[in-house]
Chain A
Amino acid sequence: MNGWRKSPARFKIGLLIMLVVGLTALCSFVWTPYPPTAIDIASKLQPPSMRHWMGTDHFGRDILSMVMVGSRTSIAVAIAAVAIGIGIGVPIGLLAAERRGLIDDALMRLNDLIFAFPALISAIMITAVFGPGALNAIIAIGIFNIPVFARATRGAALSIWPREYILAARSTGKSDRRITFDHVFPNVSHLLMVQATIQFSLGILAEASLAYVGLGTQPPMPSWGRMLFDAQTMIGVAPHMAIFPGLAIVATVLGLNLFGDGLRDMLDPRASSR
Chain B
Amino acid sequence: MTLWRSALLALTLVLGSASAHAARSDLVLGVVLEPPHLDPTAGAAAAIDEIVYANVFEGLTRIGANGEVLPALAESWDISDDGRVYTFKLHGKVLFHDGTTFDGEDVKFSLDRARDAKSVNAQKVLFEGIENVEIVDPLTVRITLKQPDGDFLYNMGWGDAVIVAPETAATNKERPVGTGPFKFGNWAKGSQITLLRNTAYWGSQPALEKATFRIIPDPAAATAALLAGDVQAFPVFPSYETVPQFQTDPRFKVVIGTTEGETVLGMNNAKPPFDALKVRQAIAHAIDRKALIDGTMFGFGTPIGSFFPPHHAAYTDLTAKSAYDPELAKKLLAEAGHPQGFKTTLKLPPPVYARRGGEIIAAQLAAIGIEAQIVPLEWAQWLDQVFKGKDYDLTIVSHTEPNDLNIFARDDYYFNYNNPAFKELIKTIAATSDQAQRAELYREAQTVLADDMPAAFLFQLPKTGIWDAGVEGLWENGPIQANDLTNVRWTD
Contacts and interface: CB of A to CB of B under 8 A. Distances in A.
A243 B220 CA distance: 18
Interface in A221-235: 232-235
A39 B220 contact: no
B376 A218 contact: yes
Given A41-B291, A44-B294, A220-B374, A236 B363 contact: no
Find the residue from A58, A132, A214, A235 having the highest chain B CB count within 10 A. Answer: A58
A218 B376 CA distance: 8
B12 interface: no
Contacts of B360: 39, 41, 59
Contact of B220 (A37, A38, A131, A232): A232
Contacts of A232: 220
Contacts of B219: 233
A39 B239 contact: no
A236 B359 CA distance: 23
A33 interface: no
A42 B362 CA distance: 17
Contact of A218 (B242, B356, B374): B374
B129 interface: no
B245 interface: yes
Find the residue from A39, A44, A131, A218 having the highest chain B CB count within 10 A. Answer: A39
Contacts of A219: 358-359, 362, 374
A237 interface: yes
Nearest to A230: B356
Given A39-B295, A41-B295, A44-B294, A220 B363 contact: yes
Contacts of A237: 241-242, 244-245
Contact of A234 (B241, B294, B358, B363): B241
A44 to B, nearest CB: 7
Contact of B359 (A39, A132, A214, A234): A39
Nearest to B364: A39
A233 B374 CA distance: 22
A44 B295 contact: yes
B241 A233 contact: yes
Interface in A36-72: 37-39, 41-42, 44, 58-60
A233 B360 CA distance: 18
Interface in A13-29: none
Given A58-B241, A233-B242, A39 B363 contact: yes
Nearest to A133: B375
B223 interface: yes
A232 B294 CA distance: 18
Contacts of B374: 218-220
Contacts of B376: 132, 214, 218
B294 A41 contact: yes
A218 B345 CA distance: 13
Contacts of A44: 294-295
Given A39-B295, A233-B239, A58 B363 contact: no
A168 to B, nearest CB: 59
Interface in B244-266: 244-245
Nearest to B238: A233
A44 B291 CA distance: 11
B295 A58 contact: yes
A214 B354 CA distance: 14
Nearest to A57: B295
What bracket does the count of chain A residues touching chain B fall in?
A: 20 to 34
Interface string A97-135: 000000000000000000000000000000000011000
Interface string B354-391: 00101110111000000000111000000000000000
A214 B377 CA distance: 10
A28 to B, nearest CB: 19
Contacts of A41: 291, 294-295, 360
Contacts of A38: 363
A236 B356 contact: no
B51 to A, nearest CB: 25
Interface string B198-221: 000000000000000000000110
Nearest to B376: A214
Interface in A118-161: 131-132
B382 to A, nearest CB: 13
Nearest to B348: A219
Contacts of B220: 232-233, 235
A41 B295 CA distance: 6
A123 B425 CA distance: 51
Contacts of B294: 41-42, 44
Find the residue from A214, A219, A237 having the highest chain B CB count within 10 A. Answer: A219
Contacts of B363: 37-39, 220
A232 to B, nearest CB: 7
A233 B222 CA distance: 11
Nearest to A235: B220
Nearest to B241: A234
Interface string B292-304: 0011000000000
Nearest to B363: A39
Nearest to A238: B241
A43 to B, nearest CB: 11
A236 B245 contact: yes
Nearest to B350: A214
B362 A220 contact: yes
Nearest to B288: A41
Nearest to A58: B295
A219 B362 CA distance: 9
A100 B420 CA distance: 75
A132 B376 CA distance: 8
Contacts of B223: 236
Nearest to A132: B376
Find the residue from B241, B245, B375 having the highest chain A CB count within 10 A. Answer: B241
A21 B360 CA distance: 29
A224 to B, nearest CB: 17
A37 B371 CA distance: 13
A51 to B, nearest CB: 19
Contacts of B242: 233, 236-237
A44 B290 CA distance: 14
A232 B364 CA distance: 25
B141 to A, nearest CB: 50
B219 to A, nearest CB: 5
Given A38-B363, A44-B295, A237-B245, 11 more contacts: A39-B295, A42-B291, A132-B376, A219-B358, A219-B362, A220-B359, A220-B363, A233-B242, A236-B223, A236-B242, A237-B244
24 contacts: A37-B363, A39-B291, A39-B295, A39-B359, A39-B360, A41-B291, A42-B291, A42-B294, A44-B295, A58-B356, A60-B295, A131-B375, A132-B376, A214-B376, A218-B374, A219-B359, A219-B374, A233-B220, A233-B239, A233-B242, A235-B220, A236-B223, A236-B245, A237-B244
